[in-house]
Amino acid sequence: MPELPEVETVRSELAPWITGATIVRARRVDAPAGPKYAHLSRCEGALVRAVERRGKFLVLPLVGSVGDRDELVVHLGMTGVITPERPDSHVRVQLDLEGVEPKTLYFRDVRRFGRFLVAPDGDYSGLPTLKRMGPEPLGDGFGIDVFADRMRSRAPVKSHLLSQVPVAGLGNIYVDEVLWQVRVHPQTRACDVSRKKLAGMRDAIVSVLEAAVRARGTTLSDYRTVSGGTGGYGHALAAYGRHGQPCLRCETLLKRITVGQRSTHFCSRCQRRKKATS
């Protein structure tokens, strides 16, 4: 569930804590060796130069590591939490730090969907989504021309937005919110959305994510900030989880369907499916 606003909140709390820290030891705990924890030992002895974010990935550039362009890449998956307080269970990684306080960082991940790995020389070959990721919605480079170009796909608009290719950072919750905002049916083919609608969609992506970042994200169940806090955007949700409740625009009861194996919430009156022509 952590999407851009949740990951950005974690990033902003993590940065002042561990920027400048040296990683003395990186230990896998109750987690199998494998691609999700690849090359973890390479970060031992390295200094954390910054805490950045690409979409839903945290990216920590390292210096003084085996390779000077190594990056520590973290994805919270569904249930990943980074905390200085030792969790009572489901710890996957323990980092021992030097030069900062507190000196220990824990990665807890109940469902094991998360990743915590080192990308040697910043090579994302084992991370295809990161490699193909679209522009940051809250940065420069998310213009309508780039967005429209990246939206050329015959896949349902919802599925395509979830692919991270048109824009970075959207997940199931905020995609439903954006599509409700701009009144686009989630099963419309991405390439069938008009340029005008795409312009509105681009603006809605920015405004929804900005508001959610301000609220420090949405907490549905597991998500917690580094300091243990919860996000406040849940009260602002107009579509996600509101099936059976009245649309905030037209009072029609919202529906829940499945699109691309994902639960999808929308208003069948406001969000009309574009009729196939032929």
Partner DNA sequence: CTCCCGTCCTGTGGGC
Partner DNA sequence: TGCCCACAGGACGGGA
The smaller minimum CB distance to DNA, of residues 32 and 101, is found at 32
Q: Measured at the alpha carbon of residue 35, what is the angle toward residues 33 and 37, in degrees to the nearest 5? A: 55
Only segment of 13-21, 97-105, 128-136, 209-217 that touches DNA (CB under 7 A): 128-136
Residues 235-254 that bind DNA (CB under 7 A): none
Between helix 4-18 and helix 195-214 the angle, nearest 10°, is: 40
Smallest gap, in angstroms, from Cβ of residue 108 to DNA? 11
Asked about 101 being catalytic, the answer comes back as no
DSSP 24: E
Q: Is residue 67 within the footprint of DNA (CB under 7 A)?
A: no
Residues 97 and 220: their CA atoms lie apart, in Å, by 31
Smallest gap, in angstroms, from Cβ of residue 79 to DNA? 7
For DNA, the binding residue among 99, 128, 141, 246 (CB under 7 A) is 128
Q: Provide the CA 63 distance to its chain's centre, in angstroms.
A: 25
State the catalytic residue, choosing from 27, 255, 262, 274.
262
Asked about 5 being catalytic, the answer comes back as no
Q: Is residue 149 within the footprint of DNA (CB under 7 A)?
A: no
Q: Is residue 262 within the footprint of DNA (CB under 7 A)?
A: yes
Residues 4 and 253: their CA atoms lie apart, in Å, by 28
Residues 154 and 122: their CA atoms lie apart, in Å, by 32
Binding mask 186-225 for DNA (x = CB under 7 A): -----------------------------------x----
Q: Is residue 35 within the footprint of DNA (CB under 7 A)?
A: yes
The smaller minimum CB distance to DNA, of residues 24 and 155, is found at 155
Dihedral of alpha carbons 85, 88, 93, 95, sign? positive
State the catalytic residue, choosing from 2, 5, 84, 156.
2
DSSP 254: P
257-263 long-range Cβ contacts below 8 angstroms, 24+ apart: 257/186, 257/187, 259/156, 259/158, 259/159, 259/186, 259/187, 260/155, 260/156, 260/158, 260/159, 260/162, 262/158, 262/159, 262/162, 262/172, 263/172
Which residues, in sequence order, are CB contacts of 41 under 8 Å at separation 6+?
Answer: 26
Residues 36-65 that bind DNA (CB under 7 A): 55-57
Q: Is residue 118 within the footprint of DNA (CB under 7 A)?
A: no
Asked about 42 being catalytic, the answer comes back as no
- Residues labelled as active-site residues: 2-3, 56, 262
Tell me which residues touch DNA (CB under 7 A). Answer: 1, 3, 32, 35, 55-57, 75, 77-78, 90, 110-113, 126-130, 153-156, 159, 162, 164, 171-173, 221, 260-263
